[in-house]
Structure 1
Amino acid sequence: MDLLSSLSLEDLAASFSKLPVFPLFDVAYYIISILYLKYEPGAVELSKRSPVASWLCAMLYCFGSYILADVLLAESPIHYFSNNANILLASAVWYLMFFCPLNVFYKCVSFLPFKLVLVGMKEVVRVRKIAMGIHHAHHHYHHGWVIMVLIGWVKGSGVALMSNLEQLLRGIWKPETNEILHMSFPTKASLYGAILFTLQQANWLPISKAYLIFFFTLFMAACKIYMTATHSHGSPFAPIEACFCSILFGTASSDHDDPGDHHHHHDDHEMSHSAAKSKEELNEGTRKRKVKKAE
């Protein structure tokens, strides 16, 4: 810590942790979130066919984490919609993204150099939301570590966790795309970040909150900018996860047979048996008709 203090990093981290995110960083968050919504298949057609459904989807992309966290904490899920300035900003971004003449707004924000800046700014907001979620949960449950991790995780990746609900608003039902079953990098990073911030809140992590916000934001922004620039969908956690999961939970291919395999083999056997039986009955019916004609 002495080395960090001598480099004036402490002042930098403290100033960064107090940097206001409204309106500049929040607008960047809304732009990238709704940009990803526009990438979804059928999103543009939905905006023409049902603007209300499209707007609701955009609000879920922007404020889904707040809604889900409020539901888990038994608070009003529409509480955040009382922030008129945020709602108006997000609505303006949605309108420009889908209805701007000649798609000028979309072309500007999807221009890669500008998009990378917006992606980095979005991660600033994500880390702040994780930290605020931990603080909010700690206020209600002082010793509820699991609750603090859960709320911090939801604050950081609630939009992805509510993806199935958002798909229903667009008339799509794909339960196999459940984010918990197939976690993306932001969802995993939000979970790990929530664990770190919970340990820091419980004084188990010997680092100040300002330092944690600063360094974790740098990590998240660097990873997301690199992944966006290279169009990568991999995860930097993959090698570590593969190592620990193989030790703690075993490999995916176990020596023991999967009970589902026996079920499939049994079904295949029944299908083969039914097919043979049907063929036998068909041959028997043909033979009887021939005998009848001969008589």
Structure 2
Amino acid sequence: MKQFLTDLFADQSYDETNFFLIAGPCVVESEELIMEVADKVSGICKRLGIPYVFKASYRKANRTSANSFTGIGDETALQLVKKVGSTYKLPTTSDIHAHDEAAPAAKYVDILQIPAFLCRQTDLLIAAAETGKVVNVKKGQFLSGPSMKFAVDKIAKAGNDKIILTERGTTFGYQDLVVDYRNIPWMHEHGTPVVMDCTHSLQQPNQTSGVTGGNPQLISTIAKAAIATGADGLFIETHPNPAVAKSDGANMLKLELLEDLLEKLVKLRKAVL
């Protein structure tokens, strides 16, 4: 494990042979929701020896429809994410969408996540790098793994080598994504830990309803294949009731299904090491 990840998980007891997990609801809907998810997932991860990062977006800037939920207010949501981290002794992450969001968000979270559509935005990558926080860049749906070296270079040249790359599928037609698992070893060649986003890679974007669809029944398939092909970490958005989630409900994993999936993945990880 990279030293910056070891430092990130310093407050947790975990099995060093395990993958790490980035998980939580898509967006901060309420304090009750994020505390419920953090409590449940942290307990599971502690039992299974999985290093855990809590994830929730403080604002959703990229929505299909102008009528879609975007958040409860930046400052309020960021404070709640920080509260989760301090309450459960967890590192936290949220995505940012513009260069002027980097420094404010960095006051509250440990990892700045760069959305896939923005992975080529030079000013955004540099601003994230300059905070000194870990920067997790999601591979654009329009890019190959090898081409992500340019995102890595931008961050590294800004003086930050704490970089994670996340695979989240590649655009296939107008309303589907496919996962090319060659991207996992290819992105490892950039010298970074590689994460598989097991939920967004199953999105079905650009629906005429204005709400993104998904195939959550395939989350376990995506996750198992990622472990088998050498992913260092998994990204899974989860919610107690995805049917009523205010963002990305169509591709989130129901919270009650997470424990069984993680148990299987831990066994698989041990088998392929």
TM-score (norm 1): 0.26
Structure with higher helix content: 1
Structure showing the higher strand proportion among its residues: 2
